[in-house]
A and B are shown apart, each in its own frame.
Chain A
Amino acid sequence: MSKHHVHVTVNGASLEAEVESRLLLVHLLRESFRLTGTHIGCDTTHCGACTVLLDGLPVKSCTVLAVQADGRSVTTVEGLEKDGKLHPIQEGFMQEHGLQCGYCTPGMMMTGYALLEKSKNPQEDEIRHAISGNLCRCTGYVNIVKAVQHAAAKLR
């Protein structure tokens, strides 16, 4: 069982930790770095609650080793807000009631954020496709789609 010293840039801050090989990225974020906004849902690569951006791309952090993130950059839901101001994707979820219990929301917002990085005016189909790896058991997705579109309009 090897130990590794990892350096990860998380939400712009350079962080480091001593990790076991088998530590998962989501545990590094939640337990070592105390960033508990990223949720653990199914823990089996299905639900997407643990979605974070790894070098800008959404990944399921329950299915990435912490050591695989060494030297790379991670963005979590805590990184969306800037200078006390919510990111439009966060505004969108609030304004359009894109959440009920809120469990899937951090992952949903990270996927939505990544979609809006490459698509300025996504239609419903495109949004539903993008979030097809993020499960929500409350909303029926209708308001989540609206939330992403709200953010898209704000960002344009």
Chain B
Amino acid sequence: MIPPSFDYHAPKTLPEALALLGQLGDEAKVLSGGQSLLPLLKLRFAQPAHLVDIGRIPGLDYIKEEGGVLKIGALVREAALEASDVVRSRYPILADTAAVIADPIVRNLATVCGNLAHGDPANDHPATMLALGAEVVATGAKGARTIPIAQFFTGIFTTALQPAEVLTEIRIPAPPAGSGGAYVKLERKVGDFATAGAAAFLVLKGGVIERAGIGLTNVGPTPIKATAAEAYLAGKKADEAAFAEAGRLAGAAARPGADRRGSVEYKKEMARVLTVRALRKAAQRAGGK
């Protein structure tokens, strides 16, 4: 399969890319890792007249903790996230997530920011970022703005990014003491999109949950922030009874469609089960276990 025709642009700097995107408007798509965009083009699900390849812009592949925030630049590949020392030691939920995206070869090119900007409810990082309360930086020719992740996913394959903006950075609050997170995914085989997935982040104090974040993958038209489950958990003891009820609430928040991966009932049930498992693992990690 050969993609439809388009013009290709390879700006050398971010301002150059932003100027181009400003001129081309919604005729253009941003190309970074290309592991979602190129398959989409081949299948004619998208036919942009222009691709603006940001892959040759230097300085966008950083992962760094700065001022109590983890910053992930636009060109950080999934493989780099998975291998990063700071991620493995301080943000294991991110390593969990990267490790189940597509396969190791795809992860050599696929980018973390692209996983969000693509707006696919089947992608894995959105749930994790919802659980962590991340923000994304959208940069346009006139400057940058930050968007809380909970306001980022506006519909299926649509986000709050404007056509002339690039998602240049993800910002994740550094984990407070006594916190932990985990991502669990059910997939039919390596490389498949999730049948369902759940991300959980817990902040514990003396065995009591101060704050909980829960995100769900591929059980609705957008990634889902399970707000009722999060609210329920606040102030509860971090035990099986609380996780069971939070799982029930998360399953009830899922709005999946039936497809070859399962029926509506099955996917809602999997959202419940996976939420419980993610909470359990998050609590273990929060306890330093």
Contacts and interface: CB of A to CB of B under 8 A. Distances in A.
Q: Do A and B come from one complex?
A: yes
A18 to B, nearest CB: 13
Contact of B4 (A22, A27, A130): A22
B106 A65 contact: no
Given A130-B104, A133-B102, A63 B35 contact: yes
Given A60-B106, A132-B104, A132-B191, A44 B34 contact: no
Contacts of A24: 2-3, 38
Given A43-B42, A63-B39, A21 B7 contact: yes
B4 A59 contact: no
B35 A2 contact: no
Interface in A60-101: 60, 63-65, 67-68, 70
B38 A63 contact: yes
Contacts of B35: 45, 63
Interface string A15-41: 000001111100100000000000000
B281 to A, nearest CB: 20
Interface string A38-55: 000001111010010000
Contacts, number: 83
Given A21-B6, A43-B42, A44-B42, A68 B106 contact: no
A104 B190 CA distance: 17
B51 A51 contact: no
B109 A4 contact: no
Contacts of B8: 2, 4, 21, 65, 67
B103 interface: yes
Contact of A64 (B6, B10, B34, B79): B34
Contacts of A63: 34-35, 38-39, 106, 109
B163 interface: no
A152 B3 CA distance: 39
Contacts of A130: 104
30 contacts: A21-B7, A22-B2, A22-B5, A22-B6, A23-B2, A27-B2, A43-B1, A44-B1, A44-B39, A57-B108, A59-B105, A60-B105, A63-B35, A63-B38, A63-B39, A63-B109, A64-B34, A64-B38, A64-B109, A65-B31, A65-B34, A67-B53, A68-B31, A68-B55, A70-B10, A111-B105, A132-B104, A132-B190, A133-B104, A133-B106
Given A22-B5, A132-B103, 20 more contacts: A4-B8, A21-B5, A21-B51, A22-B3, A23-B2, A24-B3, A57-B79, A58-B108, A63-B34, A63-B106, A64-B34, A65-B8, A65-B38, A68-B55, A70-B10, A129-B104, A130-B104, A133-B106, A133-B190, A133-B191
Interface of B: 1-8, 10, 31, 34-35, 38-39, 41-42, 51, 53, 55, 79, 102-106, 108-109, 190-191
Smallest CB-CB A-B distances: 9 pairs: A133-B103, A21-B8, A133-B105, A1-B5, A2-B7, A132-B190, A22-B3, A57-B108, A58-B105
